[in-house]
Structure 1
């Protein structure tokens, strides 16, 4: 009975759809004699609902791979599919459509200091013109309440702590209910407690919304939230778990 259950579990795991599917992806910077390969023959599948952490030394290619998955950099060779949309050779409109499925969280939070917390969160919803303006305001306010900043909606980033700014970044990434969250060193500028609080908040909200997380980090204190850990080294991908 236990053996049958194990086989069934393996089948169910393999049957889950891959929201991110990469095959033989390579990437170079520069041209001609200045051409420098930075990614080599990357193959990776990340399934719906997974939390995957990518580690590796600086310069190993982590951020480059993340930017390709996010449609922020053009693919060169291989195949990279996001929610069944091929990004290698994709048109501008196809890239925009793919980005609507993705929420981004960066190390420096990338908030606009001239906008309030609520206005920063609303920015993401501009990619979704089908959502009326009043609904955007309401969704942004509700998301800020969810991350514990309901009383800070009119505050500007300069008057908030680092942890609060990163909570706004999480709200901005999740407000449009994306299928994928890409996070690049989200705890790097935070102390231990703030970093842990931010990651656990991201984990909880992503699980509630049923989205996938791919998180790049050097922070060994948060590795326990991952379903799987992968490692980049010199442009190559090493799957540890």
Structure 2
């Protein structure tokens, strides 16, 4: 969500992927036959809204390929108040960059996979942290979790899960790794599990992954 401060001190809120897409209830992926699909499409662009998925160089990717979701519309925000640098960054290549990563399927439906800043690049693969978190949250002993990419000398980033266990419940790193391995592709299985008593959050309850990453980098030594 982009927040634009007004001169009078108020704010405009703008959430491109929440209010720019029509309902996806009629999409086949939402049928009973496909109820086990990992991610359900959020829908198609609304009226007078253009949508595309771009790579890091601003080129549109093929259907089904991951990239950043961008929008263009007469009712998209004009920019960030008194912040030309952030405005320039958000409107590169003539599109509004949402900061969300996703793909458009063959029928034109959009699926949102993760926030771009939370994607993990490991061994040449782009890995969505949210997909791994969704799996871990189905384990009965996991109260909270956050998946990060920590610097690694070989993998560039190593998938790392930070886990808060429920009171009076236990789970080892090996148990959680086996749990993930049974539900995820091998390269998505966390290479390390760190157990914390809590996760740092902001006032709205969102996990502060940048802060958590700084803490965890001191806990892992991949060369050991």
Which category describes the TM-score, using the shorter chain as reference length?
under 0.3
What TM-score does the superposition give when structure 1 sets the normalisation length? 0.26
| Bigger relative contact order (CA 8 A; separation at least 6) | 1
Q: Whose helix fraction is larger, Structure 1's or Structure 2's?
A: 1
- Which protein is richer in strand relative to its size? 2
State TM-score, norm by structure 2: 0.28
